[in-house]
Structure 1
Amino acid sequence: MNESLRMRAAKALMWIAGLGLPALAHAQDAALDPADSGDTAWLLAATLLGLLLVLPGLALFNAGRARAQSLASVMTQTAAVVALVSVLWIVVGYTLAFGTVSNGWLGSGNAWMLIDLGNVRQDTLVPESAYALFEMVFALVAPALLVGAWVDRARFGWVIGFAALWSLIVYAPIAHWVWGGGWLATRLGTVDYAGGLVVHVSAGVSALVVALLLGRRERFATAVASTGSSPLLTITGAALVWAGSLALAGGSAFAAGDDAAMALVNTHVAAAVAALAWLLLDRLKGAKPGPTGLARGVVAGLAIVAPAAAYISPGMAVVLGILGAVLAKGAARVVQGHLQIDDSLGVFAGHGVTGAAGTVLTALVLNPAFGGTGYGPGMDLAHQVVGQVVGVVTVAAWSAIATAIAALMVSMALPMRVTREDELAGLDKASHGEDAYQPD
């Protein structure tokens, strides 16, 4: 009897111990996981908030500045581009941009379909899955910005085909050169904290090329003079873009620390100052300040501060914000007024020019004498200027050439431009649906 009791007691103890084994194994796995839970939580939150920049931020910002007949088309194009590029990023985009470095020009195919991700991303304390998701938001912003270049006249089918090809042959290589351990960063020391070069310059230059290929709208002069069909949508979209950009700036530190906080402060200050500067410029010109001008100022400030957001003092962010408004407003006047290039919503002026200026000025504002955090190992002002200028020239040249090739390749199968009748009516059969278009 006593032997039987002892056996039962032993079995009971073994069963109780067995209940703890899964928890023990999990605890051991957790101890081996080098990812920091706080940094990971911050990055995931920044990713979700960053999506406000793309959907609905850019969709509303662009739609509000288009005419009423094009509102649904602009929003549909933006959403479709985001959906398609999201899938492409998971399948092949991420590995092209951030796969294991092979020759400095493109990432290798180790992470296609995200099948070979490390526990943590190199040089960070966050899981590579979280890193890939965060970088996807930047990959979505760039082609979504391009929608503003062809408002009122590009066919929906061509838009989708072009955006897909552009994300792979323009954005992915550039992201690798600067952020993925490619040649611009490792050989020249080119710096771009939150997308001034990778996103804004690439999208801005590409927008200018597309605008030249498409030609001007039928009612170009009237369209340029218009502030859009819904300033309320424009300012609402700009507010979401503002908040989303703050999230992307803070998340680009990949850690919940001082760099993230400083990036948030500088990005916010630059956007606020640029918005006020744009309103002041409107007033000095004799125009009535309005929501569209304020919204465009916000975007200009966000673009010019992005390359150096975590590396400068708030005082320098104020200076950059003023410069962003002046440069964007002046460039828009030159491109659309003097050169008569129909970049519908001023993507080149608002993003390309300001992003390039911010990237080059980063070489100067990094100097501790101006409140900057200083240069990297082996770098000084002269070397940094070379790295930044070569970065801008290279990205601009590649964006222009590859964009022209992609646009023309897609146009061989899918016409670029809607018919004159559809353009004047503001209808695009593909983006509104066949039922919404009734021919005469």
Structure 2
Amino acid sequence: MKITKFLPAVAAMVPIPATALAQGAAETVAAGPDSGDTAWMLVATALVAFMILPGIALFYGGLVRAKNALSILTQTAIIAAVVMVIWVVYGYSMAFGGAESRWWGGFDRLFLAGIGPDTLSGSIPEYVFVAFQMTFAALTPVLIIGGFAERVRLSGAVVFAALWVTLVYFPVAHMAWAPAGLFAGWGAMDFAGGTVVHINAGIAALVGAWVIGPRIGLGRELMAPHSLPLSFIGAAILFVGWFGFNAGSALSAGGSAALAMLNTFTATAGAALAWVAIEALLRGKASALGVISGIISGLVAVTPAAGFVGPVAAIGLGAAGSAAAYLFVTVIKHRLGYDDSLDVFGIHGVAGIVGALGTGILAAPSLGGTGYAEGVSMAAQLWVQVKAVLVTIVWCGVLSFALYRLVDALVGLRVTAEAERRGLDLTSQGEAAYHM
């Protein structure tokens, strides 16, 4: 099987394909860590953690109604903490363990066995690689809760997240980023998580919205965001944190990280402008909600492509992801009648798919990209991208549906109608975000 071209940043490290962050299983090498790479990866890890708290928490917190603001903040913090614990117990092993399997990494690194301060992953300490990947694992299920916000029990959300990362996130991460993984073997290009993070989260949110059902009063009551300034702050934090997400995925402080950083700027700018331009043309006004929706759409779309496409092509990719997300958020969601509360599928799922497929096209050297593996054509690479997207959708969709049903039977997913009407802050947390 053909693999994608090695990134210069990792060519001297372990022999892993330059796909999906070039994040293969860590290997112990004799040389010491590179201080520059290590310093950058420590910063990048902190930036991705910053995306969760306060980034996603504030972004989601402002988008819900005032009576549910604390509930979404609480769910974000607890789910992130639970996944961090799971990650060091068995998650890292399942995703990046030494098993030569297309589907999972095995249990050889349970409780981080065999890893110490002197163990290296390429040019950085393996502990740094573990921590960097842990932030990705913690962030992804936090994204999902936006799909069923304002109507789900805290216990149900937490149990679902724990089971979901185990059966969905860890295997897909292995498929995309471990050398033996299915997508890596195909030569799929996913620099920073188009399949693993965004399509995964988007599909899980869509299935959850369908299984759990719409919020009481949807279509009859006003459900506008209670604090757009709060969400704007959260989106701004996500924008900054995303440089750790994308540029950090080079796993080194070199040219690949520089390209990913620049693409993160240009794609996001193109996406924000595309969203507000569409709004202005169709509605006569450009909104603050539209600006931040465009920003997130662009960040999502460029994630799989960040280290593979050129900065000018990234503008078009961001704009295309933003336009597709706008269509789903404003038109298709309403026509199909599902209640994706905070548009997780409409933005992360849809823009993630556009980005994953667009990577296969825009990575062409003729379009300013870094190129494909030797002998691989644009058509062949695009087909690989399609296969990786389809497997992610099916794997995540089927298992997410089963897990929602299981969690509902075990602890219950939806709060009572009375609790939903009063708001989850009072009924679940016993406190209020605002006192009049």
TM-score, normalised via structure 1 length: 0.88
Contact 2:70 2:425 in 1 (8 A): no
| Structure showing the higher helix proportion among its residues | 1
Q: Deviations over 1:68-110 (max 9, x none)?
A: 1010111111111111111111111111001113222110212
1:269 aligned counterpart, secondary structure: helix
Residue 297 of structure 2: aligned partner: 300
Residue 75 of structure 1: aligned partner: 73
Change (3 A) 1:394 1:430: farther
Residue 9 of structure 2: aligned partner: none
Contact 1:189 1:379 in 2 (8 A): no
Residue 230 of structure 2: aligned partner: 233
Q: Deviations over 1:339-377 (max 9, x none)?
A: 010010110010001101110111111110100000024
Q: Distance in 1 between matches of 2:313 and 2:263?
A: 8
Change (3 A) 1:240 1:85: same
Q: How many residues align?
A: 403
Q: Distance in 1 between matches of 2:36 and 2:147?
A: 39
Residue 6 of structure 1: aligned partner: none
Q: State how 1:45-84 maps to structure 2 within 5 Å.
A: 45-84=43-82
Q: Deviations over 1:396-435 (max 9, x none)?
A: 00000111111111111211101111111113667414x7
Contact 2:104 2:175 in 1 (8 A): yes
Q: Deviations over 1:152-201 (max 9, x none)?
A: 11111100100111111110000000012243334311110011111000
Q: State how 1:147-226 maps to structure 2 within 5 Å.
A: 147-222=145-220, 226=223
1:220 aligned counterpart, secondary structure: coil
Q: Distance in 1 between matches of 2:97 and 2:38?
A: 20
Q: State how 1:12-411 maps to structure 2 within 5 Å.
A: 33-117=31-115, 119=118, 121=120, 124-222=122-220, 226-411=223-408
How far is the alpha carbon of 1:226 from its aligned partner?
A: 4.4
Q: Distance in 2 between matches of 1:155 and 1:186?
A: 37
How far is the alpha carbon of 1:334 from its aligned partner?
A: 3.6
Q: Distance in 1 between matches of 2:180 and 2:348?
A: 23
1:310 aligned counterpart, secondary structure: coil
Change (3 A) 1:270 1:186: closer
How far is the alpha carbon of 1:34 from its aligned partner?
A: 2.9
Q: Which runs of 5+ in 2 are unaligned?
A: 1-28
Q: Distance in 2 between matches of 1:263 and 1:48?
A: 17
Q: Distance in 2 between matches of 1:317 and 1:91?
A: 38
Structure 1 outlier segments of 4+, above 4 Å: 118-122
> Which one-letter code corresponds to 1:155 in the other structure?
R
TM-score, normalised via structure 2 length: 0.89
Equivalent residue for 2:414, pick from 405, 417, 428? 417
> Which one-letter code corresponds to 1:288 in the other structure?
K
Q: What percent of counterpart residues are identical?
A: 39
Contact 1:101 1:181 in 2 (8 A): no
> Which one-letter code corresponds to 1:169 in the other structure?
L
Change (3 A) 1:47 1:157: same
Q: Distance in 2 between matches of 1:378 and 1:214?
A: 47
Q: Which structure has the greater CA radius of gyration?
A: 1
Contact 2:62 2:227 in 1 (8 A): yes
Contact 2:57 2:72 in 1 (8 A): yes
Q: Deviations over 1:185-227 (max 9, x none)?
A: 343111100111110000000100000000111121256x644
1:308 aligned counterpart, secondary structure: coil
Q: Distance in 2 between matches of 1:409 and 1:290?
A: 40
